[in-house]
Amino acid sequence: MQLRVYLTFDESTVREPLIWKLAREFDVVTNIRTAEVKDHMGLVGLEIDGEDAVVEAATKWLADQGVKVAPIEQDVIEG
């Protein structure tokens, strides 16, 4: 499964290497598609690819770390 999500980091999580830890802890491939990171917040568009159960566990882990995880809505027609 490939899942596209927006990750929102707050002041307490923005300096943590959580995407790196995610790739180390779970058997997933991550691809940062877009990012805007500042001192007090960050927004990252991330693709997570792997087995369904592993991707679900990985996104739950991110949420448990304090990161807001929201699915990216995909267009019905992708060019």
pTM of the model: 0.88
Q: Which of 12, 65, 4 is nearest to 29 (CA)?
A: 4
Per-residue pLDDT of the chain (79 residues; tens, 9 = 90+): 999 999 999 999 999 999 999 999 999 999 999 999 999 999 999 999 999 999 999 999 999 999 999 999 765 555 4
Strand order across the 42-49 sheet: 29-37, 42-49, 2-9, 68-71
Under DSSP, the state recorded for 15 is T
